[in-house]
Amino acid sequence: MTNYSHLVIGIGECLFDMLPTGVRLGGAPANFAYHAGQLLGMDHVLIISARNNDTLGHQMKEELSQRGLNNIMPTVDFPTGEVKVKMNAGGLPEYTITEDVAYDHIPFTAEMEAAARMTAVVCFGTLAQRNAASRNTIRQFLDATPANCLKVFDINLRQQYYSKDIVEQSLQQCNIFKLNEDELPTVCRMFGIEGGTSEERCHRMMERWNIDIVIYTCGATGSYVYTPERSSFKASPRVEVVDTVGAGDSFTAAFCSALTVGKGINEAHSLASEVSAYICTQSGAMPTIPQPRYSLY
């Protein structure tokens, strides 16, 4: 494989969002990797998933190449993933997720293991862990990363495609945990974390699973970043929202990218808030981030 170093990696679902406005490449880990690449340079990022040799699979290969997004994308005997997306009356996405697709069957390869050993940041969620094959690959990958790797669990709860066991295993393997205002009550109910403010509950999660950072996003209101020693709040910039697809992934990507180049949590949080707000003004999960407006350098 290419001689990468200090990689920022998204591992899990790479798929096509079937939006009202057309077919767009997406999937939370792919969105994360692409936006990190826009900020850090594409040579520093990688998406790990799987595709089929079908029409969408060929389109995926072509679009990844056009975007300059390095990938490890084994071909498997299951259709390339797709999600039908429609916007509700509030402008928020609603998803119909196809099951038993390529990203459910990601094999763990020697190339992936080699990449894991050069990883500075890896982001993963729950959707690609709904099937044992990809779940085991993600866990093996995380186990193979360096001790100082930032392992980011961006929970991304989708419909029924998660379980308490999957969430707990992921919390045990991560050191950064990201969730939103809809997901916090679900996670708290799941693990009997009752009472107190949102901040207190996030701190209890940090203590319970020995997590270094919890990122808690609250849509148009703003976002919080908690560490054991401090908390940071940023109000969401007021923008004209086109859609929110991929906004959370861009937040995670910007925050982690800033950390990798030595920015502090406050600066990383500010960049993440600004980038995710900009993504909301664009259609689809992977619009171009204006440079040098959001440059890290």
193-244 pLDDT, tens digit per residue, is: 999 999 999 999 999 999 999 999 998 899 999 999 999 999 999 999 887 8
pLDDT for the residue numbered 1: 37
Measured from the Cβ of residue 99, the count of other Cβ atoms closer than 10 Å reads 10
pLDDT at 286 over 80: yes
pLDDT tens digits, residue range 129-143?
Answer: 999 999 999 999 999
pLDDT for the residue numbered 189: 97
How many percent of the chain have pLDDT more than 90?
A: 82
pLDDT at 263 over 90: yes
Q: What integer best gives the mean pLDDT of the chain? A: 93
pLDDT tens digits, residue range 93-135?
Answer: 677 899 999 999 999 999 999 999 999 999 999 999 999 999 9
Mean pLDDT calculated for residue range 8-22: 90
Q: Helix, strand, or coil here: 169?
A: helix
pLDDT tens digits, residue range 164-179?
Answer: 999 999 999 999 999 9
- The full set of domain ranges for the chain reads 7-280
Question: Mean pLDDT lowest for which of 9-18, 258-267, 276-285?
Answer: 276-285
Q: Does domain 7-280 have CATH number 3.30.70.3450?
A: no
CA 63 to mean position of chain CA atoms: 19
Q: How confident is the model at residue 86 (pLDDT cuts 50, 70, 90)?
A: confident
List 217's β-bridge partners, or say none.
180, 223
Q: Count H helices, E strands: the chain?
A: 9, 13
DSSP string, 95-108: EEEPPS-GGGGPPP
pLDDT at 293 over 90: no
pLDDT at 49 over 90: yes
pLDDT for the residue numbered 94: 79
Question: Mean pLDDT lowest for which of 4-8, 12-16, 30-34, 76-80?
Answer: 4-8
pLDDT at 83 over 50: yes
How many percent of the chain have pLDDT more than 70?
A: 98
Quote the CA–CA distance of 174 and 172 in Å, as a whole number: 6
- Alpha helices by DSSP H, listed for 109-182, are 110-116, 132-144, 164-173
Quote the CA–CA distance of 121 and 24 in Å, as a whole number: 25
Q: How confident is the model at residue 87 (pLDDT cuts 50, 70, 90)?
A: confident
Mean pLDDT calculated for residue range 1-8: 63
Which residue did the predictor score with more confidence, 19 or 39?
39
CA 291 to mean position of chain CA atoms: 22
pLDDT for the residue numbered 2: 43
Quote the CA–CA distance of 154 and 216 in Å, as a whole number: 10
Q: How confident is the model at residue 3 (pLDDT cuts 50, 70, 90)?
A: very low
